[in-house]
Amino acid sequence: MRQFCAAALAALFLFIGLVSHASAQDITLRSRDGGVELTGTLLGFDGEFYRLQTQYGELTVDSSGVLCEGVGCPSLTDFVAELTVSGSETMGAVLMPALIEAFALRGGLTTSRETTGPDTFTYHLKEGGTGKTVGRFFFHLTNTDTGFADLLSDNADIVMALREIRRAEITRAHEAGLGDLQKHNRSRVLALDAMVPIVAPGNPVDAISPTDLSRILAGTLTNWATLGGPDAPISIHLRNPGSGLAQGVEDRLVKPARVTLTDGIIRHDSNTALAEAIARDPFGIGLASYSEIGNTKPLDLTGPCGFRLNAARRTIKTEDFPLTAPMFLYLPARRLPALAREFLAYTGSTSAQIVIRRAGFVDQAPEEVPIDLQGDRFRNAIAVADGTSGLSELQRMAKTLSGKRRLTLSFRFEPGASRLDAQSRSNVQHLARALEAGTYDGRHMLFVGFSDGQGPAEGNLRIAQKRAEAVRLAVVEAAETADLSRVVMASDAFGEAMPMACDDSTWGRQANRRVEVWLE
């Protein structure tokens, strides 16, 4: 049939949508020769495509092939790109505004911020010369739960989340026609954060094990004297239950320990309020965002083997600090306006990583760490080297890695699974894009697998080698346009030779099971 019919039929098979914040109204789309027409409720317009709810279902139609009739028809010449972002207050208060302002400046646009409510605001983006409005970005700052609820009710286009999407949310999103939000193109890690145990500055305790943290959260460890502190009851401070930070605490500390949260936890509506409360409470402990610990004292993570891990930009970026928390943007399977797509592309750029660092968060720009800065890790390796075979493997590792530099992109697998965790899946994409850009042309890239110390050493070595090769193949598959003949890529493994944490807990073993990338 005519061009319009072909477009309409093709749209039946497009699992994409469009974004609009105008009230839904009935419109008629008519082919330019007047032979075919389609009536339905306008769900969205992105400046190029209409999205309609019709008797045939939800259709997407190219505006260049049709004429729009009805009071709800948007302007093709004065189109303003609109985007609604909902979810984590941690991400939306500082980080996203900083990125929007930097994006606008780079594109010659001006920005103005309009506060529209206690937890809402709008960014207006205008052309620098004419002052014409070209975009409006609406923000609803609440928590991760509300962000997903807004997305599922069609009140948001993007979710800011401090945790991975949960199975029930995946199912509901799929049923709502939003696509599979587990796919890598439906989410991206914007920046990195961490859950950091904090106490008041005067508290003498300076380190705690995740096992003891779990006992505190469960209410079975209740006095600071047990940890070498004063003889005083421990008060617990956490974010409100709907926040991604609080849910991350449950997912990473409570559930693996197979305990439940105790009663009497003091809850806070913001990260700032949590940090301020801990600073005032001499016997309080909380788990705070790395970006907002305020005037509190962060505690190192430790264990019976004596290893200590502190939250710092590099240890968070490498996931050596085990309570790292990726900051996600989730996007449904719908077409966003061009300006919104350009903004999302900008968030992964080199200049955006600088903005992320300046905003107090941990960026994802890969860095190369010289081997002479691996002292603590090699000291741990020496301390646990067991017998002749352990010493031999340690010597082989030192010889193999000598002269190489460690890349800050590490890879870990989900507990009990062969699937990479969320941050690692993002790291695969980052490394693949770098290979496509020729960043590592002429270099030798070695994927190195490590394991925990549970079970026979030979078996651990085989598993570590298998994981290293799996990561290498995942990166190769993702780097579709890279000329891999310009890079020498290989894999190796050293099993349990260089542990990051004690093996006495689930989190410690998870930290030790990893794949690193070393460059020469």
Q: Which residue has the tokens 């968060």?
A: 361
Q: What is the full DSSP assignment across 307-330?
A: -EE---HHHHHTT-STTEEEEEEE
Residue 191 has pLDDT above 70, yes or no: yes
Q: What is the mean pLDDT of residues 151-170?
A: 91
- Cβ-based burial of 342 (10 A; exposed 0-12, middle 13-18, buried ≥19): middle
User: Could you tell me the pTM of the whole model?
Assistant: 0.79
Residue 13 has pLDDT above 60, yes or no: no
CATH class of the domain comprising 366-519: alpha beta
CATH class of the domain comprising 193-317: alpha beta
Please report the pLDDT score of residue 511 as a whole number.
Answer: 79
Please report the pLDDT score of residue 1 as a whole number.
Answer: 41
pLDDT in tens, 233-254: 999 999 999 888 999 999 888 9
- Closest to 278 (Cα-Cα) out of 219, 243, 238, 248: 238
pLDDT in tens, 63-104: 888 899 998 888 777 889 999 999 999 999 999 999 999 999
For CATH 2.30.30, the residue range(s) in the chain are: 3-69
| CATH node for 3-69 | 2.30.30
Give me the chain's average pLDDT, please.
87
Higher pLDDT, 373 or 413: 413
Q: What is the mean pLDDT of residues 148-156?
A: 92
In this prediction, residue 265 has a pLDDT band, given cuts at 50, 70 and 90, of very high
Residues in the chain: 520
What is the number of helices (H) and of strands (E) in the chain? 16, 24
Superfamily of domain 81-190+327-358: Periplasmic binding protein-like II (3.40.190.10)
Question: Cβ contacts of residue 26 below 8 Å, gap of 6+?
Answer: 39, 40, 41, 42, 70, 72
For CATH 3.40.190.10, the residue range(s) in the chain are: 81-190+327-358, 193-317
Encode burial over 183-195: b for 16+ CB neighbours within 10 A, e otherwise.
eeebbbbbbbbbb
For CATH 3.30.1330.60, the residue range(s) in the chain are: 366-519
3-state helix, strand, coil in the chain (%, to 5): 35, 30, 35
In this prediction, residue 50 has a pLDDT band, given cuts at 50, 70 and 90, of confident
As a whole-number percent, the residues of the chain with pLDDT over 90 amount to 54
